[in-house]
Structure 1
Amino acid sequence: MPGVGQSASVGRLLLLGGGNMGGAMLRGWIADGLDPASVIVVDPRPSEALAPLFEKGVRHAAAIPAEPQDIVILAVKPQMMDEAVGPLRAAMTRDTLVISVAAGITVAFLEARLGRRPVVRAMPNTPALIGRGITGAYGNDLVGGTLRATTTALLKASGPVEWVHTEAEIDMITAVSGSGPAYVFLLAEALAEAGVAAGLEPALAMRLARHTVAGAGELMIRSEEEPAQLRRNVTSPKGTTEAALKVLSVDDGGLKELMRHAVAAAKRRAEELSRGEA
């Protein structure tokens, strides 16, 4: 699939929200060849990190302009969405594609405020900040093949895109990959603390944990083997890794069981947010 810079269907694009996630996507689009002049960022206080992109020709506005846009990307915080989307109709035509990356904001929520139009609900994750994220996406029935391809071109600038068949699956994706980086960061934190408890100097333990987690992640991406096989490759019979894995894999409260409980809790909370529960 061509990059976003080669997609003629992108047209005029309004990015509502110039914070971390919105900024990460914008940097990805420009790096992928999108014409800076085709983008307008609407944010009263955009991230200072976007200044170089404004210098390249990306436009900035503190309020939503009264000019029609082909695509609107919603990258504001969920609690700000109700207030933020109100003035958007002035920047829309009947065919304007809306893509939301805000957790818990449903297609029905957006259709109720913006009218019946093509809407995509997407869930990226924070590694998108360095172009290594992954995004789940669901579109309503007005998102046909061309709009789906355009959405993919935009979202894949931050990493792979996985389309799902039902909106309910977005809550599941939120629990696995949306919240998932925090689980990995906790693993690194716990590994470093365990190293300190074993006698390592704290800074060294943290460097070891960071590089071990990052390196293992990169190995999983590059390898054709499944994670289970990669784990077996490291585990020698009666060796040190096997001794550790026996602790992590106990039936009652082992790591896999804890992860199932954690993802289930995140999914329940995502469903509550989608229902508008505070």
Structure 2
Amino acid sequence: MRYSSLKDFLSDAPSALAKGPVALIMVEDEVEVDSSVRHHLDLGFKKVVLFADADIEVSPKVEAKTIRVDLDMRGEHALTTAVNACIEAAPNVWMYYCYNAEYLFYPFCETRTIGEMLAFHTEERRDAMLTYVVDLYAGDLSKFPSAVSVDEAMLDKTGYYALARNDPANHNHPKERQLDFYGGLRWRYEEFIPAAKRRIDRIAIFRAQKGLRLNDDHTFNVAEYNTYACPWHHNLTAAICSFRTAKALKRNPGSTFAINTFEWRNSVPFDWHSRQLLDFGLIEPGQWF
């Protein structure tokens, strides 16, 4: 199903999004759209919605398995416009959002569906889940000048850290159970990344509710949605393994000639398995075993 505008989609959205979990994929270009869709369908998402410019080509196989919405993704607020419209149209439905060339991994995702994971998370009285954006990049940029290679993807095994998230409305005291996370390419090449874009935390998995709104900085207007755990114990966390930053650094004229390789002493091949992310401490199982 394809809709020519967000307005047209919203007329059908309450029924189209009635059964979750739903994956919302923001398509910025034609890089790895098929693999992104296939990965999230394999996780068990009931619906996958693609928001993409009308001139972006998507394979017929992908279009047959997804809902396609024509939307100009170059706009500054395109992401929040799409996500918030879906929230308003389908309250109480679990949703997840990402971009193309991004891939969700949660603990034991190879053998457990996204629905099973969210059923447990719901039982823990959680309405949102913290995800970390873990940068992927091609090891050989002479072979893969776009920095994208699914078959030869690399990631940083270390170099991630968190800082307190201060609350300007409360004398800059740290917010309860909220942290700002950094690392990956946004940390190593921070001179090319605006300060407001350097964080790697994203509340990408959440249950919609009336009045909920996603902000441009990937936080929500409900404080509890932005927490990494409940008050009484640790909760599940997930990772979004993403080529998006590497792709942008090699596409941007201000950085492309300064980067001959993304590899450094802490680069390792990505195994495309949640076990590796668990071993590196990039995702947490909480009480889910």
TM tier, smaller? 0.3 to 0.5
Q: TM-score, normalised by structure 2?
A: 0.33
Select the structure of larger CA radius of gyration. 1
The structure with more strand, counted as a fraction of residues: 2
Q: Which has the higher contact order (CA 8 A, sep 6+)?
A: 2
TM-score normalised by L of structure 1:
0.34
Give the helix-richer structure, 1 or 2.
Answer: 1
